[in-house]
Amino acid sequence: MKPQIQKLPLSEQSSFVADRFMTPQFETPWHYHAEYELVLILKSHGKRFVGNHVSDYREGELDLLGPNLPHWYRKDEDQAIGGSLVIHFREEFLGKSFVGIPEMQKIRLLFERSRMGIHFRGEARQEATQQMQAMLPLQGMDRLLCLLSLLTTLAESTDYALLSSPELSGQNHRDSDRLNAVFEYVMNHFREEIRVEEVADLAMMSYSGFCRYFKNRTKKNFSHFVNEIRIGYACKRLMESDVSVSQVCYESGFNNMANFGKQFKKIVQCTPYQFGRKSKL
């Protein structure tokens, strides 16, 4: 599957793009582009891949992704309707010199942080969500001023988390294509035994070459990445139902309780039993 590089469909009346997308084909594969992307999840839930970061996403979440930062939002349910409100813009959308003026200092720092991906929380996310919704019907200067106000809201927020390591950006098409195939394979087979040799063959690499490549590109071992996906699924199952921990263990792709408990505590910082009890409170 070839990566889809997004392009700005600009018109003579607009220097940036802001639009709402509601479609069963919500996600594009692992990809990157030259534009900044501010994405608000309107509908669906699933896995967020940003650089070397992997986590769950759900409705109402807001992220700012910098240029050339690889990312992928994968729905848990392929046929479910997914929705997002997305703003795409280049750094020079106001002119190459505008970003350098003193009044843009905080926004320049925001742009620098976004190269690792920023996940916003709290009041800033709520205010930014309202501003994004209000922007859609606007045109011309009103829409531009709304974007500047929105960026100021985000730049002044201290309630955020950086998602990825700063080293992971600017991959080429071949890297994106290869990593997309690996990610897709793991998401489709994590409940089964995954042999590194098979994934290395998929990537058309030797076993040792693939292990080095994956660590270099994602800053984590392949086995740890697979465990993150499995534990994320286990957390979802423990929150959704009254199934036993042992059942969740085997449903998630682990073949014994001892390893499941060890990996769960390593990633979630508590035992599956503790997590299950907390999620039911």
Task: Kindly report the average pLDDT of the chain as a whole number.
Answer: 86
| Residues 116, 36 share a domain | yes
Q: Are residues 67 and 155 in the same domain?
A: yes
In contact, 30 and 5? CB cutoff 8 Å: no
Percent of the chain with pLDDT over 90: 49
pTM of the model: 0.73
Kindly state whether residues 27 and 155 are assigned to the same domain: yes
- The distance of Cα 179 from the centroid of its chain, to the nearest Å, equals 14
- What band does 74 get if pLDDT is binned at 50, 70 and 90? confident
| Residue 102 domain boundaries | 17-162
For residues 26 and 88, membership in a common domain is answered with yes
Based on the fold, state whether residues 137 and 202 are members of the same structural domain.
no
pLDDT at 150: 96
pLDDT for the residue 220: 86
Domain containing residue 246: CATH number: 1.10.10.60
Residue 197 shares a structural domain with residue 253: yes
In this structure, are 207 and 154 located in the same domain?
Answer: no
- Indicate whether 11 belongs to any domain: no
Mean pLDDT throughout 184-199?
A: 93
Give the C-alpha distances (Å, rounded to integers) separating 216 from 43, 60, 179: 33, 32, 12
Q: List the CATH number of the domain containing 88.
A: 2.60.120.280
Q: Same domain, yes or no, for 149 and 217?
A: no
Residue 179 lies in a domain: no
- 243 and 151 belong to one structural domain: no
Task: Confirm whether 78 is domain-assigned.
Answer: yes
Structural domain contains residue 182:
no
Give the count of beta carbons closer than 10 Å to the beta carbon of residue 68: 14
Which is nearest to 47 in space by CA: 25, 68, 26, 72? 72
Residue 2: the pLDDT is 36
Q: Is there a contact between 193 and 255 (Cβ–Cβ < 8 Å)?
A: yes
Task: Give the total number of structural domains in the chain.
Answer: 2
User: Is 230 found in the same domain as 134?
Assistant: no
CA 226 to chain centre: 16
Residues 144 and 204 in one domain: no
E strand intervals along the chain? 17-23, 36-43, 46-50, 53-57, 62-65, 71-75, 82-89, 118-120, 160-162
Q: Which residues pair with 43 in a beta bridge?
A: 83
- Structural domain contains residue 173: no
Does one domain contain both 155 and 28? Answer: yes
